[in-house]
Amino acid sequence: MSLIVQKFGGSSVATPEKILAAARKAIRAKLEGHQVVMVVSAMGDTTDDLIDLANRITDKPPAREMDMLLSTGEQQSCALMAMAITSLGHKAVSLTGAQIGVKTDATFRKARIKSIETARLKKVLDEGNIVIAAGFQGIDDDFNITTLGRGGSDTTAVALAAVLRADACEIYTDVDGIYTTDPRVIPEARRVSRISYDEMLELASLGAGVMHSRSIEFGKKFDTPIHVRSSFTDIPGTMIVAEPERPDMPVSGAAITKDEALITVQAVPDKPGTSLEIFARIAARNISVDMIVQNVGESGKADLSFTVPRNELDTALEAVRDAAKLVGAGTVSANDSVAKVSVVGLGMARQTGVAEKMFRALAAAGINIGMITTSEIKISVLVPRDQSQKALNVVHTAFELDKPPAKPIEAWKPKAHGTDAAAVVARLQGLNMEDLTIDDVSLDASQARVTISGVPDSPGIAAKVFEQVAGAGIFVDMIVQSYPTTESLATLSFTVPQDQLDHSVTVAKKIASDLSCRGVTSSPKIAKLSVSGVGLRTHTGVAIRMFRALSEAGINLDLINTSEVRVNVIVDGNQGEKGMKQLQAAFADVLR
């Protein structure tokens, strides 16, 4: 018999009427012949209200007691939902996280799911009930109630769908799907019928806050299709699955992040272990770092730029200043008036000219690009915050994200779960469900690097560079531009196939002299070392583990870039094999 998980968020169960409406949706699915598990959030602003209440008693509520308190929000709505279904003449049983057997670790307020028991759920379902599960909660080994972090009911829902091998996991919410960008910011944004897990993970990390990131990680890891749709209409929403709607299109979505600030460390001695020193100190203060860009510097010094949450800038700066002193780096500076604009798409990995198109759109709008970093499926640039809205707009239009697809989209078809269920279970044997899993540690030894130094800080340079490079038929992989520092000059590096190096250098030199840049350097053989997997974002420290492993082997990092699904570093070509061995050893415990 088919099984459907339906999750209703706080706004979808905010009033008795809405609870009854949700109950009818579940009953309808039941009458269509499915077994139904509902997952509910707390009604409306209940969780916020409970937090306020606690804060009126004390400003330091014990975390354990907070979870005891917050879990009651979901317990309320789940009991009410069971009553609603019963009143409409159908059988229902409500269950708390503990009753289901959602086992978590003991990290109160942001616990991770370790395992879920299915026996009780299945028994209650087989007796003909609709099961209503309280979202967002579990118990640790000592039976303490835990919660999964704000927005965690999504994660409960997808996790339940995964362990029950559900045919669908429907997330009912107050928006009708996933858009190419936030429709409140860009009204032309289009709802997509389908988006991939990886794209969604990137977009979620960029603040496109429709779904709890960890729920997407579950989807990807356990191959569970997720359907995000409106609780107030019946129109289909967006499927989050392995493949996007239009795999041939380079970009599926765009986003703007305004709550990050930039830190730049100049003249970092270009030797093993310096990045580690800096990032380990930031991590020790529990601050997450984003958009790391390290560029090859002149005379043995590198520039290191990265962003941190704006509200943690002061603490981060303290940590960085300490580290900079220790490693003998130069000035540490901060910039709080930037914003990050990103485009995301699985399709860009297979196409050329994508970055160029983005840079060209920004140049045409007169917007200066401060920093650039590209990964396989994401390009991010830093622009002045007061121009960021416009930047998002022109980029969204340049990639035709506002236009409906030219040819009709084939409907997504579920594949039978029979075979993958066994494979997935085998793959994750002996693991906790939310453990970090690394799918791949890889070495690409086929590339060379070109670096243009002393690039003037004015609009249009990146566009010109990559236009000419592309025009010369050169295939660019990674692009890294560090934030302009000394005398407003930036450093721009990119990687190309080794056999195109001479050609690339000729082109770069021509551009450098045309645009009065300082000069061009290159490295004929570099090694790109990558670690990819699930949970790279929510398990901080993957990049640090990588830096540590390479630094212990005395391997120097030339370029760094990070994304939600992959961390890449570029090292000297002769160090590739050695680096690869180091990384395989460093990640052996989580490599699947």
Size of the site for ligand ASP (CB under 6 A): 12
Residue 577: count of CB within 10 angstroms of its CB: 12
Which stretches of 428-541 are DSSP H helices?
Answer: 461-471, 501-514
Among ligand ASP, Mg ion, none, the one that 152 touches (CB under a kind-dependent 5 to 8 A) is ligand ASP
- Distance of closest approach, residue 155 Cβ to ligand ASP, in angstroms: 8
- Distance of closest approach, residue 107 Cβ to ligand ASP, in angstroms: 16
Q: Which is nearer to ligand ASP, 158 or 565 (CB)?
A: 158
Phi–psi pair at 80, nearest 5 degrees: -65, -40
Tokens of 18: 């809405």
- Distance of closest approach, residue 16 Cβ to Mg ion, in angstroms: 18
Size of the site for Mg ion (CB under 5 A): 2
Phi–psi pair at 155, nearest 5 degrees: -65, -40
3-state helix/strand/coil string of 527-554? EEEEEEEECCCCCCCHHHHHHHHHHHCC
Q: Which is nearer to ligand ASP, 45 or 552 (CB)?
A: 45
* Residues whose CB falls within 8 Å of the CB of residue 481, separated by 6 or more in sequence, listed in order: 293, 295, 369, 370, 371, 372, 373, 455, 462, 490, 491, 492, 493
**Contact flag: residue 77 with ligand ASP (CB under 6 A):** no
Strands (E), 193-280: 194-196, 226-230, 238-241, 253-257, 260-269
Q: How far is Cα 305 from Cα 62, in angstroms, rounded to an integer?
A: 37
- Distance of closest approach, residue 213 Cβ to Mg ion, in angstroms: 15
Tokens of 117: 């028991």
Q: Which one-letter DSSP state was computed for residue 233?
A: -
Q: Which is nearer to ligand ASP, 7 or 340 (CB)?
A: 7
Tokens of 54: 């606690």
Q: How far is Cα 386 from Cα 563, in angstroms, rounded to an integer?
A: 25
**Contact flag: residue 484 with ligand ASP (CB under 6 A):** no
Among Mg ion, ligand ASP, none, the one that 150 touches (CB under a kind-dependent 5 to 8 A) is ligand ASP
- Distance of closest approach, residue 121 Cβ to ligand ASP, in angstroms: 19
Site for Mg ion in 16-55 (CB under 5 A): 41
DSSP 375-401: -SSEEEEEEEGGGHHHHHHHHHHHTTT
Q: Which is nearer to Mg ion, 147 or 388 (CB)?
A: 147
- Distance of closest approach, residue 43 Cβ to ligand ASP, in angstroms: 9
**Contact flag: residue 348 with ligand ASP (CB under 6 A):** no
Q: Which is nearer to ligand ASP, 77 or 252 (CB)?
A: 77
- Distance of closest approach, residue 103 Cβ to ligand ASP, in angstroms: 18
Q: Which is nearer to ligand ASP, 136 or 399 (CB)?
A: 136
Q: How far is Cα 401 from Cα 323, in angstroms, rounded to an integer?
A: 43
Out of 153, 257, 294, 500, point to the residue binding ligand ASP (CB under 6 A).
153
Binding mask 26-45 for ligand ASP (x = CB under 6 A): ---------------xx---
Q: Which is nearer to ligand ASP, 53 or 326 (CB)?
A: 53
Out of 138, 151, 219, 297, point to the residue binding ligand ASP (CB under 6 A).
151
Site for ligand ASP in 167-186 (CB under 6 A): none
The Cα-based distances of 546 to 101, 155, 281, 531, 541 in angstroms read: 35, 28, 15, 8, 8
Q: How far is Cα 118 from Cα 51, in angstroms, rounded to an integer?
A: 31
Using CB atoms within 10 Å of the CB of residue 132, give its burial: 0 to 12 exposed, 13 to 18 middle, 19+ buried: buried
Out of 10, 297, 345, 454, point to the residue binding Mg ion (CB under 5 A).
10
- Distance of closest approach, residue 47 Cβ to Mg ion, in angstroms: 6
Please check whether residue 129 is in contact with residue 165, taking contact to mean a CB–CB distance below 8 angstroms. no
Mark the segment that binds ligand ASP (CB under 6 A) among 145-153, 278-286, 439-447, 479-487.
145-153
The Cα-based distances of 141 to 42, 98, 539, 585 in angstroms read: 24, 11, 21, 31
Mark the segment that binds ligand ASP (CB under 6 A) among 85-93, 149-157, 258-266, 429-437.
149-157
Summarize as ranges the residues that interact with ligand ASP (CB under 6 A): 9-10, 41-42, 47, 73, 135-136, 150-153
List residues binding Mg ion (CB under 5 A).
10, 41
